[in-house]
C-alpha cells in the first residue's frame, strides 16, 4: 500500500469498495464457520438465512411487511425532522426560551424509548397513529438538539448583510438561513434514520400490530425461529444502506459542495 | 453623462452618546460622545482614527444596524437608498459570486442586467461562477465592492473594505474604487485607520479621537482626481493634514483616561 499517493475520486471509491467487500466477506466466513461448528438450530449459517429470505420473498410476506414498516419509518422520520427542526430553531433563536426548555429537552433525551412506547399505547391506544407518534417522539429531542446548535451558530454578519441588501424574509430564509442549517439537518437525518428504524421495530412488536417487520420478528421470536429473525434483519439492513448511500450521502455532499 | 444619485440633501449625523452595556464586571463602555457632522451630497467623507475609537460603531449607527444610541440620523429627503460595504466581504459562501450579486437585487430588477458588466469591470469575469471561498480574499473584496456599486446607492457606507490585503492588491482596489466613484459619484462615508488610504480616497477627512470619541479635526482634501493616483502628491497632502501643528495639538495628544 502506498497511502501517500494521491488517488483520484474514482480510485478512492474503488478502494473503499474493496475494503468493504473484504470486510463483509470475512464477517460472512466467520459466521458460516461458527454456525458449522456449533451445529445449533439457534445459530443458522448464512446459507440457511438466505434460504428463508428466499421463501419469504417468494410468498410475498417479505415485501408486504417491509413496505408497511418503511411507510411507518418514513412517516415517523419526516414528522420527527419537521417538529424537531421547528423546536430546535426556536430554542436556538430565543435565549430565554432555551434557558427555560433546556431541562425539558434533557428529560426527553434521557427518557427510555420503551417508556415512551408503553405510555403512548396506554394513553392513546394501539392505533397506527400512536405507533408513528411514539417513534417520532423518541427522535424529536435529538433533531431539536442538533438544529438548536445550527440555529445558535447562524451568522450575524450574514443576517446584517441580508438586512442591508433588503433580502426580505423569504429570500433570507432560502438563501441565508437554510443553507446554514442544511449541514445540521443532514447530520440529524443520517443519525435519525438509524434510530427511527430500530425503534419502529420495537413499536411494532409491542403494539400487537398484525403487520410489519417488527411483528414478523416478534412472531418468529415466539417460535425461537432464528433464521426468520436474521432474514428480516438482513433485508432491513440492505434497504437502510440503500437509502443511506442512495439518498442521504448524496444529499449531504450536495449541501457541502461549496466548501473549499 | 454620468448617472448621479438622486438625493440632493445632506446626511446629518448627530450622535449624543453611544455606549455598550457593562458585561461581567467591566464598566459601561462609552464609545461616542457628541459626534455631529453633515455630509454633503456626492462627497466622499473619510472617518479616520486609531483602532477602537468607535469609527465602525458610528457607521453601524448610520446604517441602522445599531439602533441603541442617543441622537439622531437624518439621511435626507426622499428615503435615499443606502448600501453598506462591510469590513469582511460577507458573501454567501454557498452561492457563486454572480449569484451573490444577483441576489442583492430584487428579482427582475433592471440593475440585474448590469451584473456581468460590473463583474467584468472589477476583473471577475473568469471567477464569477466560482464559490467565494474558492477564490482569493482580494477577489472576494472586489465582488463585495461590485455588489455595493451595482445597487446604484444614494449613500454608500464602507467600513475598512480593503483591510488585511497586501499592498499592491489594496492599492489596485483603491484605484478601482476611485474609478467607480468618478463614473458615478455618490455620497460616501468611508471608515479607515490608514492615512494614505484616507487622503487618496476622500474629499474630506474627519478625524476621531480615541476613547469616548468625538471629532478632533475636519479637513478638506485638496487633490484633483488625477493627483490621487500620484504617490508624491498624496504624501504631501497627508503631511499637510496629519502633521500640521494644529492637527498634532488636537489629535495625537488626546488619550484615553
A69, A239 Cβ separation under 8 angstroms? no
Among candidates B65, B88, B94 on the partner chain, residue whose Cβ is nearest the Cβ of A258: B94
What pLDDT shows up at residue B238? 87
Cβ <8 Å between A160 and B90: yes
Alpha helices in chain A (DSSP H): 9-38, 46-59, 61-93, 95-110, 113-124, 128-152, 156-164, 168-171, 178-206, 213-222, 226-243, 249-255
The CATH code of the domain at B1-81+155-257 is: 3.40.50.300
CA–CA dist A206, A215 (Å, integer): 8
SS3 at position B83: strand
Q: Within 13 Å, how many C-alpha atoms sit on residue A248's CB side? A: 20
Residue carrying C-alpha cell 417487520: A213
B237, B199 Cβ separation under 8 angstroms? yes
What pLDDT shows up at residue B245? 56
Chain A: give the shortest CA distance to residue B90, in Å: 6
Q: Which of A154, A164, A173 to mutate to test the interface with B (most CBs of B within 10 A)?
A: A164
Residue A165 near chain B (CB below 8 Å): yes
What pLDDT shows up at residue B19? 85
Residue A164 near chain B (CB below 8 Å): yes
Among candidates A160, A165, A258 on the partner chain, residue whose Cβ is nearest the Cβ of B93: A258
Q: Is the pLDDT of residue A3 over 60?
A: no
Q: Which residue has the higher pLDDT, A4 or A245?
A: A245
B206 sits in which H/E element: strand B204-208
- Reading the block at residue A165, the C-alpha cell is 441588501
What pLDDT shows up at residue A86? 93
Cβ <8 Å between B103 and A158: no
Chain A: give the shortest CA distance to residue B93, in Å: 7
In B53-92, the residues whose Cβ lies within 8 Å of chain A are: 63, 65, 82-84, 86, 88, 90, 92
Q: Is the pLDDT of residue A17 over 60?
A: yes
Sign, CA torsion B123/B125/B127/B129: positive
Query: Which residues in chain A are closer than 8 Å to B98, comparing Cβ atoms?
Result: none
pTM listed for this prediction: 0.77
Query: B43, B81, B39: which is closest to B58 by C-alpha?
Result: B39
B137, B180 Cβ separation under 8 angstroms? no
B182 sits in which H/E element: helix B167-183
Query: Which residues in chain B are closer than 8 Å to A166, comparing Cβ atoms?
Result: 106
DSSP-assigned letter for residue B150: T
- Reading the block at residue A139, the C-alpha cell is 427522535
Cβ <8 Å between B104 and A165: yes
Residue A254 near chain B (CB below 8 Å): no
DSSP B97-135: HHHHHHHTS-TT-GGGGGHHHHHHHTT-TTTTTS-GGGS
Chain B: give the shortest CA distance to residue A162, in Å: 8
In B137-176, the residues whose Cβ lies within 8 Å of chain A are: 147, 151
Per this entry, what is the length of chain B? Answer: 257
3-state helix, strand, coil in chain B (%, to 5): 35, 25, 40
Minimum Cα–Cα distance from B150: chain A residue = A165
Q: Which of A150, A165, A171, A184 to mutate to test the interface with B (most CBs of B within 10 A)?
A: A165
Mean pLDDT value across chain A: 89
DSSP-assigned letter for residue B208: E
Cβ <8 Å between B65 and A163: yes
Query: Which residues in chain B are closer than 8 Å to A259, comparing Cβ atoms?
Result: 93, 133
Query: A93, A194, A88: which is closest to A141 by C-alpha?
Result: A88
Cβ <8 Å between B92 and A260: no
Q: Give residues with Cβ within 8 angstroms of A227, minimum separation 6.
A: A44, A48, A49, A51, A52
Q: Is the pLDDT of residue A169 over 50?
A: yes
What pLDDT shows up at residue B4? 46
Alpha helices in B151-255 (DSSP H): 167-183, 195-201, 231-242, 245-247
Q: Within 13 Å, how many C-alpha atoms sit on residue A207's CB side? A: 30
What pLDDT shows up at residue A180? 93
What pLDDT shows up at residue B213? 65
Query: B180, B224, B188: which is closest to B206 by C-alpha?
Result: B188
What pLDDT shows up at residue B46? 93
- Reading the block at residue A66, the C-alpha cell is 417491509
Per-residue pLDDT of chain B (257 residues; tens, 9 = 90+): 344 444 578 889 898 888 888 777 677 788 888 888 899 998 999 998 887 778 888 999 999 899 889 998 888 877 788 999 999 999 999 999 999 999 999 999 999 999 999 999 888 999 999 999 999 998 999 999 999 989 989 999 999 988 878 888 888 888 888 888 888 889 999 999 888 889 989 999 998 887 666 777 888 888 887 788 788 888 888 888 888 655 444 444 333 33
Chain A: give the shortest CA distance to residue B85, in Å: 9
DSSP A30-72: HHHHHHHHH--TTS--HHHHHHHHHHHHHHTHHHHHHHHHHHH
What are the residue boundaries of the structural domains of chain B, listed by start?
1-81+155-257, 94-152
CA–CA dist B84, B47 (Å, integer): 15
CA–CA dist A110, A106 (Å, integer): 6
pLDDT (tens digit, 9 = 90+) per residue, A55-94?
Answer: 999 999 899 999 999 999 999 999 999 999 999 999 998 9
Residue A157 near chain B (CB below 8 Å): yes
Q: Which residue has the higher pLDDT, A153 or A193?
A: A153
- Reading the block at residue A38, the C-alpha cell is 456449533
Phi, psi of B85 (to 5 degrees): -105, 115
DSSP-assigned letter for residue A247: I
What pLDDT shows up at residue B256? 36
What pLDDT shows up at residue A183? 87
ipTM of the complex: 0.82
Amino acid at each position: 500500500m502506498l497511502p501517500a499517493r494521491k488517488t483520484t475520486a474514482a480510485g478512492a471509491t474503488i478502494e473503499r469498495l474493496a475494503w468493504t467487500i473484504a470486510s463483509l466477506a470475512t464477517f460472512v466466513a466467520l459466521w458460516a464457520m461458527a454456525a458449522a461448528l456449533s451445529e445449533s438450530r439457534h445459530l443458522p449459517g448464512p446459507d440457511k438465512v438466505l434460504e428463508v429470505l428466499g421463501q419469504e420473498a417468494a410468498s410475498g410476506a417479505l415485501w408486504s411487511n417491509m413496505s408497511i414498516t418503511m411507510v411507518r419509518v418514513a412517516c415517523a422520520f419526516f414528522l420527527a425532522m419537521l417538529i424537531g427542526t421547528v423546536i430546535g430553531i426556536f430554542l436556538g433563536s430565543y435565549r430565554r426560551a432555551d434557558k427555560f426548555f433546556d431541562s425539558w429537552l434533557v428529560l426527553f433525551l434521557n427518557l427510555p424509548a420503551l417508556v415512551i412506547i408503553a405510555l403512548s399505547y396506554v394513553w392513546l391506544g394501539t392505533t397506527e397513529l400512536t405507533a408513528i407518534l411514539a417513534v417520532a417522539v423518541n427522535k424529536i429531542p435529538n433533531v431539536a438538539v442538533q438544529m438548536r446548535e445550527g440555529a445558535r451558530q447562524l451568522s450575524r454578519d450574514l443576517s446584517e448583510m441580508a438586512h442591508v441588501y433588503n433580502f426580505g424574509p423569504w429570500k433570507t430564509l432560502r438563501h441565508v438561513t437554510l443553507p446554514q442549517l442544511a449541514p445540521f439537518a443532514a447530520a440529524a437525518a443520517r443519525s435519525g434514520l438509524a434510530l427511527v428504524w430500530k425503534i419502529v421495530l420495537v413499536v411494532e412488536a409491542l403494539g400487537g400490530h398484525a403487520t410489519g417487520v417488527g411483528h414478523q420478528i416478534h412472531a418468529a421470536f415466539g417460535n425461537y425461529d432464528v433464521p426468520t429473525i436474521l432474514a428480516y434483519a438482513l433485508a432491513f439492513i440492505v434497504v437502510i444502506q440503500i437509502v443511506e448511500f442512495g439518498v442521504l450521502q448524496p444529499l449531504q455532499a450536495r449541501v457541502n459542495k461549496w466548501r473549499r | 453623462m454620468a448617472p448621479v444619485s438622486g438625493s440632493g440633501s445632506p446626511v446629518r449625523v448627530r450622535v449624543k452618546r453611544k455606549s455598550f452595556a457593562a458585561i461581567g464586571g467591566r464598566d459601561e463602555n462609552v464609545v461616542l460622545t457628541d459626534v455631529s457632522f453633515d455630509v454633503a451630497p456626492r462627497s466622499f467623507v473619510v472617518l479616520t482614527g486609531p483602532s477602537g475609537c468607535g469609527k465602525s460603531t458610528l457607521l453601524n449607527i448610520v446604517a441602522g444596524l445599531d439602533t441603541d444610541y442617543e441622537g439622531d440620523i437624518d439621511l435626507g429627503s426622499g428615503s435615499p437608498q443606502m448600501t453598506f460595504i462591510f469590513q469582511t466581504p460577507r458573501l454567501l459562501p454557498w452561492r457563486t459570486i454572480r449569484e451573490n450579486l444577483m441576489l442583492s437585487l430584487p428579482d427582475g430588477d433592471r440593475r440585474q442586467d448590469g451584473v456581468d458588466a460590473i463583474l467584468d469591470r472589477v476583473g471577475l469575469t473568469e471567477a464569477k461562477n466560482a464559490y467565494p471561498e474558492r477564490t482569493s480574499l482580494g477577489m472576494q473584496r472586489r465582488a463585495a465592492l461590485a455588489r455595493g456599486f451595482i445597487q446604484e446607492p444614494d449613500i454608500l457606507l464602507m467600513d475598512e473594505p480593503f483591510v488585511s490585503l497586501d499592498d499592491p492588491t489594496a492599492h489596485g482596489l483603491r484605484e478601482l474604487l476611485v474609478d467607480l466613484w468618478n463614473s458615478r459619484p455618490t455620497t460616501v462615508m468611508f471608515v479607515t485607520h490608514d492615512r494614505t488610504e484616507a487622503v487618496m480616497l476622500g474629499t474630506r477627512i474627519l478625524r476621531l479621537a480615541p476613547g469616548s470619541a468625538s471629532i478632533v479635526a475636519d479637513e478638506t482634501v485638496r487633490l484633483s482626481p488625477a493627483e490621487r493616483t500620484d504617490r508624491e502628491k498624496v504624501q504631501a497632502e497627508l503631511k499637510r493634514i496629519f502633521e500640521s501643528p494644529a492637527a498634532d495639538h488636537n489629535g495625537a495628544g488626546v488619550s484615553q483616561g
